[in-house]
Structure 1
C-alpha cells in the first residue's frame, strides 16, 4: 500500500521562496498545456492527443524551466484530468442523478496568484542523499529529512497558507485470519460507535464534541474576520483568514487520525477480521436535521474519516466493507422490517424515530 510522509513548509521556512517560485513555473506550464487542450476541445469537442501536446510544449521556455521529468509529470496529470472529464461526461449523459451537476472542463489557474503541484518521480530524487536520510529534489536546493530509504515519488502541493511536501512510499500489508465482525456507525455527538458480534465485549464510543467545538470556534472567528474585511477593506479573503482555515483543518485532521487509530487498535485487541462502515450517498446534500444540526453534521468530514479507517484497517489485514445504512434508525429487525435503499419508494416501518 502507498503511504505518505508529510512536511509542512510555511512562509517563515527557508525553503519557501524557492518552492513558491517553482510552483509558479509549474502553473505557467499547466496553463500553457491547458490552453492547447481547451482550444482543441472548443474546435473539435475532443481531447487533444498527449503526444501531439508533448511536441507542442516540449521546446517552450515554460517546459524547460523545470526538470524534464517533472514537466512531463505536470502535463501527464493535466491529461489525466481531461480524460476524467470525458469519462464523467459520458457517465453524466447516462445517469445524471449520480452527479451534483454537469462536469466542467479543467480551468486555468490565476495568472499571478495561481500555483500548481510539483510532482518529482523517483528518477528526479538524488539516490546518494536518500541513503543518508535526505530527500534531495533534482536541480534544486530542496532537501527534506526522511526516514524512508525507498521512495516512489515526492510532490510539492500548494495550499492556502503553506506548501505540503509529500514523500510517497510503499508499506507491506499484514495478513490476518480473524473471523470476527465489527460495525461502525458515524455521527455528530458520538463521532464513532463501534460494536461487534462477539458477546461480552463493550462497544467503543468516540466523542464528536471536540470536533464540534473546533468548528464552532472556527465559524465564529471566520464570520468576525469576514465582516471586518467587508466593512473596512471590501475584501472577501486575507492571509489571516487563510491561516485560520489551515489551523482548523490541521486540528480536524489530527483528531480524525487519533480517532481512527483508536478504532483499529480496538479491532486488533478484539481479533476483528471484518469492519463494516455505514455510509449513504449525498447524505451531506440531502440531510434535514434543522439548521443548527445540519451545520454541525456537514462540517464534519465523515468521508475523510472513512478513508482513514479503510487504509489503516487494510494495513493491519482487516477487510473493510462500505454499506448502505438508510432507515436503520426507524426499522425494527424483530418485526421483520425490510431495509430499502435510499431514494426508493418510501417504506412503512413498525418503529418511529424519537
Structure 2
C-alpha cells in the first residue's frame, strides 16, 4: 500500500523559485503536447502514445526546459488523462446514469497556471538519500527532510495549490492482512454536521460515540463570513488575501479530520473490530436542499476526504472499510427492527415504526426516545450486515458519549 508524506512549500521557501519555474514549464509542455494530440484526434488520425509524444516533443523548447525524466512524467500524465477520457466515453455510451454530462476531451491549462511535477526514483539522488536520509530532486538545489526509509521510497510529486506547493513523498508500506474470516466485531458510522461521526458497534458493552463536528463547522462559518467581508470591500471574487484565508481554512479542516479519523481507527483497533461500515449516498451534496444555513454547513464539510482517511488508516491496522448506501436509515427504527429498503426500491406501502420528532431526537413505536444519529448509525450497520445482532439483542441503544478532540494526539489513545 502506498502512502504519502507531505511538505508545504511557501513563497518564503528557499526552493520556491526553482519549483515555480519548473511547474510553469511543465504547464507549457502539457499545453503544447495536448495541442498536438487534440489536432491529431480531431482530424481523425488517432491519439499518439506517450512514447510517440516523447519522441515528437524532445526537440521542442518546452521539453528542454525540464529534466528529461520530469518531462516524460508530464507526457505520461497527459496520456493517462486521454485514456481516462476514452474509458469515460465508453462507460457513458453504455450507461450514462452516473454522469452529469458528456465527458469532454482533456483541455488546456490556464495561461498563467501551473502543472504537477513528478520525480521518479531516477530523478531523485540516491547518494544524498543514502548519506543524509534527505530527498534531493533533480534540478532543485535543496534537500528535503523525510522520515521514510530509502527502501520504501517510490516517487515525489510537487502539487501546485492556491498560494503554495505541496511536496508529496510517496512511499510503500506493507498492507496489514485483513481478518476476513472474523466478521463478528463490526462497527458503523453515520456522517453528519454537529456530530461529525456517530459510531456504533455490535461489540458487547460498547457505548456509542459521537465525534464532535462543531469545530469544523466553526472553521467553515468563520471562513465564509470573512471571505464575504473581503469580497464586499474589494469588489473582487478572489485576491491574495482571500487565497491565504482559503489555505488556512483547508489546512485547519484537514488537521481536524486527521485527528478524528485517527481516534476512530485506534478505538476500533482497541475493540478488535474487523469491519467498518460508513453510510454515504451518491451525489448527496449535489442539489441538496435542507435550507440555506444547513446547505452551507453540510456542503462545506469534506466528508469524502474523511472517508478516504478512514479507509487507508483502517487498511494499515487490518480493518476493512465498506462504504454503504444509507437511504432510509434515518427514518427507520432500529429498536423496532424495521425493514430498511434500498434506494429506488422502497415498497409502496412502506412506513417506518418511529419518527424523528426534531433534530437529534428519535421516537420509537413504543415511545422510547433515543439519539437520532445513533439510531441511523445502527441502521447502517444492520443494512449491510442484517445478522450482526442476534434475535432480541437490539437493546443496545444507550446514551452515547461525546468526544472532543481538542487535546487528542494520534498516538495517545484513551478509548473510554
Same-fold call, TM cutoff 0.5: yes
| Contact map agreement 2:115 2:159 (CA 8 A) in 1 | yes
How far apart in 2 are the matches of 1:326 and 1:345?
Answer: 10
Shift of residue 353, structure 1, vs aligned partner: 3.9
2:186 to 178, 181, 185: 181
1:12-51 alignment runs, 5 A limit: 12-44=12-44, 46-51=46-51
Shift of residue 344, structure 1, vs aligned partner: 4.1
Q: Confirm or deny that 1:123 pairs with 2:122.
A: yes
| Contact map agreement 1:332 1:349 (CA 8 A) in 2 | no
1:196-345 alignment runs, 5 A limit: 196-230=201-235, 235-332=236-333, 337-344=338-345
1:303-348 deviation digits (Å, cap 9, x = unpaired)? 1100000000000011111111101111235666443332445753
How far apart in 2 are the matches of 1:346 and 1:159?
Answer: 48
Q: In the superposition, relative to structure 1, how do residues 243 and 321 fare at CA in structure 2: closer, same or farther (>3 Å)?
A: same
How far apart in 1 are the matches of 2:346 and 2:317?
Answer: 40
Shift of residue 83, structure 1, vs aligned partner: 0.8
Shift of residue 127, structure 1, vs aligned partner: 0.7
| Contact map agreement 1:135 1:146 (CA 8 A) in 2 | yes
SS in 2 for 1:96: coil
Q: Confirm or deny that 1:80 pairs with 2:88.
A: no
Q: In the superposition, relative to structure 1, how do residues 5 and 39 fare at CA in structure 2: closer, same or farther (>3 Å)?
A: same
SS in 1 for 2:274: strand
Runs (4+) of structure 1 exceeding 6 A deviation are: none
Q: Equivalent residue for 1:194?
A: 199
SS in 1 for 2:286: helix
Q: Equivalent residue for 2:155?
A: 153
Q: TM-score of the superposition, structure 2-length normalised? A: 0.80
Q: Equivalent residue for 1:10?
A: 10
Structure 1 or 2: more helix by fraction? 1
Shift of residue 255, structure 1, vs aligned partner: 0.4
SS in 2 for 1:147: coil
1:152-184 deviation digits (Å, cap 9, x = unpaired)? 001111111001111111111234646411111
SS in 1 for 2:104: coil
The runs of 5 or more residues in structure 1 that have no matched partner are none
SS in 1 for 2:197: strand
Q: TM-score of the superposition, structure 1-length normalised? A: 0.94
The runs of 5 or more residues in structure 2 that have no matched partner are 358-416
- Which has the larger displacement, 101-110 or 245-254? 101-110
| Contact map agreement 1:7 1:164 (CA 8 A) in 2 | yes
Q: In the superposition, relative to structure 1, how do residues 345 and 200 fare at CA in structure 2: closer, same or farther (>3 Å)?
A: closer
SS in 1 for 2:254: helix
1:14-50 deviation digits (Å, cap 9, x = unpaired)? 1111111111111111111111111122222843333
How far apart in 2 are the matches of 1:330 and 1:256?
Answer: 27
Shift of residue 86, structure 1, vs aligned partner: 1.3
Figure out how many residues of one structure are paired with residues of the other and give that number.
Answer: 349
